[in-house]
Amino acid sequence: MQTSISRITVHRVPLQLRQPFTTSFGTYETLDRPFVVIETSDGLRGVGEVPTLLDPAYKAEVDAPAVLTSLREFIVPSVERFQREQGPIDSIPALRESYAWVKGAVFAKSGVEAAMWDIVAQRSGEPLWRLWGGERRTFPVGVSIGGKTDAQVLDLAEQAVALGYGRLKVKIWPGFDDDVVRAVRRRFPDVLLQVDANSAYTMSNWRRLQALDDLDLLLIEQPLFDDDIVLHSEISRELRTPVCLDESIHSLRDAQAAATLWERNGLLDRLIVNIKPPRVSGFAEATAIARFCHEKGVRTWIGGMLDSAWGKAMNLNFNGLREIELPGDHFSPGSAYFAEDVTETPLVAEAGQFALGDGVSAGVTFDWPRFERMGEVVYRMDLTA
Ligand code: OSB
Ligand code: MG
């Protein structure tokens, strides 16, 4: 019997970070997260987090008000209408087709898609990593460090390395770059080290980054404008350290455009793509990007958005894909970002490695009673088959 979606509910859940996280665009202490819940005619309930930030400083449409507007005004009504007019939605392709006409809104779409992946996985009794073609059970994971002072960054790096992490990412901006990164490199000569500027540099000061070229960094993430690919490919010709794109990649086409530019310069090995599934509208597009980049010889890794343990668990399942070569941003030192989280148990890496189990869907138990207590329902729509 064909199954259908019976109801879509959007919750809004405040999450309290254990310690402030600072980037070039600001410091966050609390987050305010929409979660999409899909209920189906066969009695299943799936959940998808939208890893919003408090404002659009990282990039457009990443804030909860924008996401909630897109979901309420366009995306959920499109799913409802599609199912009423074209028949039951019981698969990811049908779901994506229902809102394909909506431009942008990648984060909002990703929450609906993630909830549907949870349903599809529960129905098949499989872990997500297996549904996505993952062939790797264990892989290294890394830590993203958002500190305000050299001392704070060194302290966080120290904690991460003590926990066994072998890959660190340090947030930088003009004036908080060469000294701090040099200090981390001096303290940890062998760690895999990378930096993330979150688009803080311009065409007049990006050359400061050439000073980092002798620190054996794995990559420099998004030095320039959040919406740019072309100028990144230009400065990449004059940086020995590979450039990694985060903010400016929303789709397979964006990844293809970037590969075209770097290839034209004969520098494909100097392009790296940070795949954040929610930033590319979900895991279906993320899979296409991982495969494409791997075939091209462009290395990828899975970025985080200070996601709850549920979002992180989904990303970790995705990290089972063999095509994804570099360690991702998966954990803060101590392994849990939030004072209170939405899963029953935290996600733990051993000696900087994460191991995927055989648990159904994300492989962790979503804590429904706690989730319902932590947040509130902000929108609900009942669907007919
Ligand atoms: O640019 O990768 C980023 C967090 C919020 C917004 C943007 C970014 C980040 C991080 C944290 O670096 C990564 C994580 O969740 O571990
Ligand atoms: Mg980034």
Counting from 1 in the atom list of ligand 1, the atom nearest the Cα of 306 is: 15
Output the CA 99–ligand 2 centroid distance in Å: 27
pLDDT for 225 equals: 98
Counting from 1 in the atom list of ligand 1, the atom nearest the Cα of 21 is: 4
The yes-or-no answer on residue 296 being catalytic is no
Output the CA 231–ligand 1 centroid distance in Å: 22
Return the C-alpha torsion angle 239, 243, 248, 253, nearest 10. 110
pLDDT for 232 equals: 98
pLDDT for 44 equals: 98
Output the CA 276–ligand 1 centroid distance in Å: 9
pLDDT for 346 equals: 86
pLDDT for 3 equals: 96
The yes-or-no answer on residue 171 being catalytic is yes
pLDDT for 289 equals: 98
Counting from 1 in the atom list of ligand 1, the atom nearest the Cα of 332 is: 16
Which is the catalytic residue, given 109, 171, 296, 312? 171
Q: Name residues of the chain where pLDDT drops below 50.
A: 334-335
List residues near ligand 1 (CB under 6 A): 53, 58, 144, 196, 198, 246, 303-307, 329
pLDDT for 330 equals: 79
Q: Is the pTM of this model over 0.85?
A: yes
Distance of CA 358 to the CA centre of its chain: 23
Question: Which bound ligand lies closest to the C-alpha atom of 244?
Answer: 2
Residue 60 near residue 34 (C-beta atoms within 8 A)? no
* Residue linked to tokens 């004059």: 238
SS (H, E, C) the chain: CCCCEEEEEEEEEEEEEEEEEEECCEEEEEEEEEEEEEEECCCCEEEEECCCECCCCCCCCCEHHHHHHHHHHHHHHHHHHHHHHHCCCCCHHHHHHHCCCCCCCHHHHHHHHHHHHHHHHHHHCCEHHHHCCCCCCEEEEEEEECCCCHHHHHHHHHHHHHCCCCEEEEECECCECHHHHHHHHHHCCCCEEEEECCCCCCCCCHHHHHHHHHHCCCCEECCCCCCCCHHHHHHHCCCCCCEEECCCCCCHHHHHHHHHHHHHCCCHHHEEEEECHHHHCCHHHHHHHHHHHHHHCCEEEECCCCCCHHHHHHHHHHCCCCCCCCCEEEECCCCCCECCCCECCCCCCECCEEECCCCCECCCCECHHHHHHHCEEEEEEECCC
